[in-house]
Structures are given as C-alpha cells and as structure tokens.
Homo-oligomer: A and B are copies of this chain.
Amino acid sequence: MPVRIPKIGSTLSREKIKNIELFARSCRRTIIEMTTEAQSGHPGGSLSSIDYLSLLYTCIISHTNDPVVISNGHISPALYAILAELGIVSKKELINNFRKIGSQFEGHVSRHVPGVWYSTGPLGTGISAATGFALAQKITNSSTPLKEKKIFALLGDGESQEGQVYEMMNFAAKYQLNNLIVFLDYNQVQLSGGLKKIMPLRPASLFAAAGWEVISVDGHNIKKMWKALSRAYTIKNKPVVIIGHTIMGRDVSFMEEEGKKFHATWHGTTTNPEDAQKALLELTLNQKEQNILNAFKKTLKFVAEKPKFIKSLTKLSLKTGPVHTYSPKEMLDCRTAYGNALLDLAKLNKNIIALTADLSVSVKTDLLKEKFPERHIECGVAEQQMVSCAGGLSLSGFIPFASTFGAFMTSRAKDQARVNDINETNVKMVATHCGLSVGEDGPTHQAIDDMGSMLGLFNTMVLEPADPNQTDHMIRFVASHYGNFYVRMGRHKIPVLTKENGTTFFDANYKYRYGKCDLLREGNDLTLAVSGSMVYQALEAYSELKLKNIHVEIIIISSQKKFDATLKKSLLKTKKLLTIEDHTTQSGIGSQLALFCNEENIKLEKFQMMGVNEYQTSGTAEELYNRAKISPNYIVKKCEAML
C-alpha cells in the first residue's frame, strides 16, 4: 500500500479520520494499561491530549520526523503510547515496565526513549527548549525559509502558570518563530483542582497579548484540529498556539465525567484493575476496527532517530584557532578574554552561537554580536528561557554559549541547568561578575554560592580561570569538548600571571585539560590551593612570606569537581593545605578539596580554608576581599599561623 501523506490544507477524508480515531483509541487502551500496571502516573491529561497527538504523529511526524517536545512531561503515557503504536518501542515492554525500576520508560518524558527529543518534567523547561529547536532551524535555514522543519510542542494549561512559559512566549514572538506550533491542552484541570479555582488564566488573551497567533479548537475533533494545523502552517512571522479545548480523562466515561466537572480526580491517580477493565471495555476495538488500524499503521513508515548521547569531554570537530596570549604588562578582566575567544571561535565555526539576558556588554558577548548579529541571541531579562533554549540549540548541533551574571545563572536558572544536565546537552554557561569581584553592585549581585548550585549536576563541569590567558585556553577547550560546562569568572581587571622569571605563565605552550591543576610557585612549607581572582592575591602573599623565609607552594585550581596529580604531589610534600577562593568554602573548592584528600587518602597535618562565608556590602573588589579577610595580608597571617 503506498504511503499517502495528507497534504496540509487539504480536507481529511472520513476514512482517514476514522483511522486516526482508531489509532487514538488504541493509544488510550495503552495509557490505561500502563498506568494501571504501574499504579502510578498521569492518565487524565494523557487521555485529553491523545487525539491531537494521534493526528500529529500519524499525519505529520511519521512522515517528516519533525521535532516534538512534550513540555508537560507527566503525560508521558500519551507519548509513549504513540511511540508504541507506531512500533518505535515495544508496547508489551511499555505496559509491563512503565515507571518500574531499570526501565527506560521513566515517569516523565525521557530522552532515553527513541523518538523523544528532550526530557521533561519540571514544568516550563521543555517549551523553552522547543524554541531552541525552532531557532536552530531558523538560523540554519535562513536562506531557504520554505524548507524549514516545523517544531511541535505540547504545553499543559497548569504548566502555563510557570513564569518560564511567559519568558518563552515573549522570546518566540520576538524571534518570529512561525515554525513553532504549540498545542495547549486546555482541559482546565491541573494537579490539585480546576484551573479556575487554582489559578485562573486566560491563555488565549495572554498568548495574543504576547504577539502570538491563537487558534482555538475542539481538541477531540480530528477534522477541526487538522484545519487548525493547516492554518498554523500559513502563519507568517509569528509563533502559533493551538488552544485545544479538551476534557480530562476523555473517552473513559467515569473519568470524563469528573473531567467535565473540572475535578482533578484523574490527573495523577491511576485506575485500579477493576476500573481499568471497565475503561478497556469502553475502549474496545472490534476485529474489523483492529484490521483497519493495522492497515493504517502499515502506511506509516516512521523511523524515529535513536537518542544521541555523547559522552562528556568527547572531542568535537571544531576549529579552535591559535590561542591569544595577553602580555604581562596588561591588566585585563577575564570576561574580555572570554569575549575575544568567543569571537575567534565564531569566526572559525558557524555553529558557535551566543545567548545573553540583557547583559551583552557586561558579559562581553557584544564582541560576537557586532560581527555576527544573527548568531547573538538576546533573550531579554529572562535567564530561564536563555538556559533552556540553549539546551534545544545544543541538541540541534549548535554550540551555545549562554552568559549572564553568576548570581542569576545559578540561582534564577538552576532548574533549567538541571534539566539540561539530565538531558546531557552541550551547553556552555559562562557566568561573569562572580564572587566579590562584582564590587559595587552589592550582595544581591555577588555570586558567592554559585558553585553550590552545580554540585549535584552530574553532567556539568565547573571551571574557573585564574587570569585572562587561562580564560582563553579554557574557552577554546570548552567549545571543543562535548558537555555542559559552567565557567565562572569575576568582573574586575586582574594581572596577567607570570612565571618566576617574569614571562607569561599561561603562554601559547600551555595545554589546558579538564581537572588540570597548575603549579604556579614552588615551596616546601605549605600548599595554597587557589582559584580565580584569588590567585594574584595569593601571589602577593607569596612574595611577602618569602621575605619572612616562609615558602609556600601555589597550586592553581581551575575546576571544582576534578583535581590532579600536581595537587596531590604538592600535598604529599607539604602535608599542609590552605584553600583560598572568592566563594563560600561550604560548597566551593574548600569543601571539595576536603573530600578529595579523604578520597585519595592524603593525610594532612593541617587543613584550612579561606573564602566568603558571610554577605558583604558594596565596595571595590579589593576592599571587599579585605573586609571578607581573604586579601593578601590575611593570607599571610593565616599561613604564618598554620606553620
């Protein structure tokens, strides 16, 4: 039987509609079976959105393999049922193993399942990632706009209460993402009750106010939804939301009854085996219907791509160009070195892209912006959108550098970084203005606990350069190695580090690798493990101590989670460790080095930490270091006390 792809804009034949309805009914059966077997999961919203998904997958996705993001990840039963119906995954395995230990069919939509583009669960993140997919298409195909793929996303109505959804709305409108088609499953029921009771929202007005094309449709009427989709394809210059008026628990009488009353009874509760039998009876396909469905399914030649998981630190084929070496005569902020390196990389590679949240000049992505405006994505003051969107861009082949202040990246957008982490994306978060280095902006802007947010993100590597030259090496490394990175750096200008003979320390011959510790100064009395802007402070202390005949060894620590033999050797020699950082010691390198010593069984005679363990006020970086007692004079005192 030849594949007959329904043409967008055409009217669906009665036969086709019947086929899709049978397809949906069969999916409904799977939804009931899997959630009943698991006695866990979300049947209600799965049943309300399954008609749209059935239409979408059978008439579009199974022919185009366009990206689909299910942002309301708890309706995983619906998506998984579709994939099972299409033969992408085993229906039997799905029904037996959903939400069970060791199964790929996790409770929320997971990218480990073939055909899934982005793992979701925490609400609002997926839809922003979808804008990343859409934007990637736009940029890639900017010369051939008609050949664009569409990006489809599903959004919950309760989900639409998340601020991130609003950030996404404004972003998609600004970038005129007319290749993004969102279906809002407007069943008006959320986890703990009716939408009107819990948090009344008028999504049509809100989306329209944000500049979207809004199409309202009966979300259970295949014919009308096809018309809505067809209309969505014709929209120019704006994104489209199809508001599907649906009923929670649709087509299972006792569930639908509750759904019509806007009761949340079946949002997150599963049927017991007895009720399931009743439901399945209502959803029976007789032999004739089953035959029709089987024949229909044969026309769908969907081969979903297997999820691509790339191991962190895998070398990417990227031109990194020659490093730039700043002269020891210069005082420079690391963020300018970042901006310069990023521009270099963008010149050499078309897939380097920058994002920021209204801070391009401060975070120095403005250098890239000037040359490549089309690859500079300005998200406005919307850090959550920025980080999730970067996730989507990275899974579309771009290498996104997302930049804002450390305080906002790791506090406002931690959840988004976490969901990217679970997705094993390739996002480079480069945060400037970290630590007391921020200076006059005061405590709300001084990120002194930013690394704490990253400790449990197992697929995110945390780096901090010690000077502009190391920044340059590091940024080129980060760009050319797969994985999520969080690179933190300060705001103020610091000296270029030198060897004892006065030449550049991080020169052209330096090779950065993840976890590298660098021996800056030798000494036998005490090891100083120092990061970031604290290094030049420690260097001052070093000279002063030398005059007092105290010889400390300075090891530059440039990552929070990985350390190497250079440090170990030093510790075995001196048996005394002082860590110094522009960050709280509780979650910074202090705490992590304590664990390292224990793990490596390094028995220290003395171990002390210096860092920022209370809020500071405004002031210059140097004044604040002094006030926080981590300036050279305090380092000297501490070293003396330790000997």
Contact = CB atoms under 8 A, between A and B. Distances in A.
A247 B362 CA distance: 23
A547 interface: no
A332 to B, nearest CB: 20
A142 B615 CA distance: 38
Interface string A349-360: 000000010111
Contacts of A100: 618-619
Nearest to A619: B101
Given A99-B618, A206-B206, A456-B448, A192 B360 contact: yes
B174 A453 contact: no
Interface stretch (A61-69, A196-204, A337-345, A464-472): A196-204
Contacts of A414: 410-412, 414, 453
B445 A449 contact: no
Contact of A103 (B40, B99, B381, B617): B617
B199 A358 contact: yes
A161 interface: yes
A441 B584 contact: no
Contacts of A171: 199
Contacts of A166: 163, 165-167
A191 interface: yes
Contact of A199 (B103, B382, B412, B607): B382
A167 B161 contact: yes
- Most chain B CB within 10 A, of A159, A201, A412, A619, is at A412
How many copies of this kind of chain does the complex include? Answer: 2
Interface stretch (A3-11, A280-288, A300-308, A588-596): A588-596
A378 B198 contact: yes
A362 B191 CA distance: 10
Nearest to A445: B121
A213 to B, nearest CB: 15
A358 B191 contact: yes
A110 B452 contact: no
A449 B442 contact: no
Interface in A319-375: 356, 358-362, 366
A445 B199 contact: no
A199 B381 contact: yes
B415 A415 contact: no
A106 B161 contact: no
B107 A192 contact: no
B99 A440 contact: yes
A73 to B, nearest CB: 7
Contacts of A407: 122, 415, 418
B449 A158 contact: no
Contacts of A122: 407-408, 411-412, 444-445
B119 A444 contact: yes
Contacts of A103: 617-618
Given A441-B108, A442-B106, A618-B103, A382 B121 contact: no
Interface in A145-171: 158-159, 161-167, 170-171
Contact of A607 (B41, B206, B598): B598
B358 A158 contact: yes
A158 B380 contact: yes
A235 interface: no
Contacts of A190: 358, 380-381
A359 B444 contact: no
Interface stretch (A22-30, A530-538, A620-628, A633-641): A620-628
Given A381-B190, A414-B411, A615-B422, A101 B167 contact: no
Contact of A595 (B358, B382, B586): B586
Given A414-B453, A456-B448, A441 B107 contact: yes
A279 to B, nearest CB: 20
Contacts of A618: 99-101, 103, 105-107
A408 B191 CA distance: 15
Nearest to A169: B166
Nearest to A105: B618
A209 interface: yes
A53 interface: no
- Most chain B CB within 10 A, of A210, A443, A450, is at A443
A179 interface: no
A272 interface: no
A101 B624 contact: yes
Given A101-B617, A101-B627, A202-B211, 4 more contacts: A106-B443, A122-B407, A163-B382, A458-B615
Question: Would you list the 9 A-B pairs with minimal beta carbon distance, nearest first?
Answer: A449-B456, A163-B163, A199-B380, A121-B444, A101-B619, A166-B166, A411-B415, A205-B209, A106-B442
6 contacts: A38-B440, A108-B441, A108-B444, A191-B361, A199-B358, A414-B414
Interface of A: 38, 40-41, 73, 99-108, 110, 119-124, 158-159, 161-167, 170-171, 173-174, 190-192, 198-202, 205-206, 208-211, 356, 358-362, 366, 378-382, 384-385, 407-408, 410-412, 414-415, 418-419, 422, 439-445, 448-450, 452-458, 561, 583-587, 590-592, 594-595, 598, 607, 609, 613-615, 617-620, 623-624, 627
